[in-house]
Amino acid sequence: MTDRFPDDEDGGTGPEGSVAQAEIRRLRQSVLSGRGPGVSRSEFLRHTRGRAVVGGRPVARQREAVAREAAAARRDADGLLLHVVAARSRLDSDVDELRDRTVRQRGKGRVSGPRKRLARSRGTRLAVVGLAAALAGRSMWRRSR
C-alpha cells in the first residue's frame, strides 16, 4: 500500500505533499499503535464490545436504529412492525412514569412548615376571608362617596 492518494495533484512529491503525507503516516501509526495485533484482550473489549455509548447514543438504541433502517431497506413489514411495537412499549412506559411522577408531586404540598399548619387552620381561613370582605367593603364605600 502506498501513502499517495489519487486526488493529490502533485502525487505527494512536492514539499507540501510530502509534509502532508508524513503527517498522515504519523497519525496512522499513532492510531494503530494501541489497537493493532498483539493488543491486550481487555483493551480490545473496551474499544469494541465493551462500549456503552457510541456517538453519544446508547449502544442498544444505536443497534435498534441500524436494524430498523435495514428492515426498511429490505421492505420487511414484520421487522418494521417489531420496531413499532418496541417503540410503542417504550412510549407507554414513559407515559406511565410521567403519570406516576405527576401523582407523587400532587401529593407533595407546595407550602411547608408553619405556613402549611396555618393554611389548615379553620380560624385562619375565616380570618383571611373576613379581612378580604372588609377590604372589599371599604373599597366599595370609598367609590360610592
pLDDT digits (tens, 9 = 90+) for 54-81: 778 888 888 888 898 999 899 988 888 8
Q: What is the Cα–Cα distance from 112 to 128, expressed in whole angstroms? A: 19
Whether 127 is in a domain gets the answer no
Average pLDDT, whole number, for the chain? 76
**Shared domain check, 44 and 63:** no
Whether 24 is in a domain gets the answer yes
**Shared domain check, 30 and 8:** yes
- Domain extent, residue 75, equals 59-106
Whether 123 is in a domain gets the answer no
Provide the pLDDT confidence category of residue 32 given band limits of 50, 70 and 90.
Answer: low
E strands present in 17-107:
53-54, 57-58
C-alpha cell at 80: 418494521
- At 83, which amino acid appears? H
Provide the pLDDT confidence category of residue 51 given band limits of 50, 70 and 90.
Answer: confident
Whether 45 is in a domain gets the answer yes
**Shared domain check, 65 and 31:** no
Per residue in 84-127, pLDDT (tens digit) is 888 888 888 888 888 888 877 776 656 566 666 666 777 777 78
Whether 121 is in a domain gets the answer no
**Shared domain check, 65 and 39:** no
Whether 144 is in a domain gets the answer no
The pLDDT value recorded for residue 1 is 46
Whether 122 is in a domain gets the answer no
Whether 134 is in a domain gets the answer no
Q: How large is the C-alpha radius of gyration of the chain?
A: 35
The pLDDT value recorded for residue 48 is 75
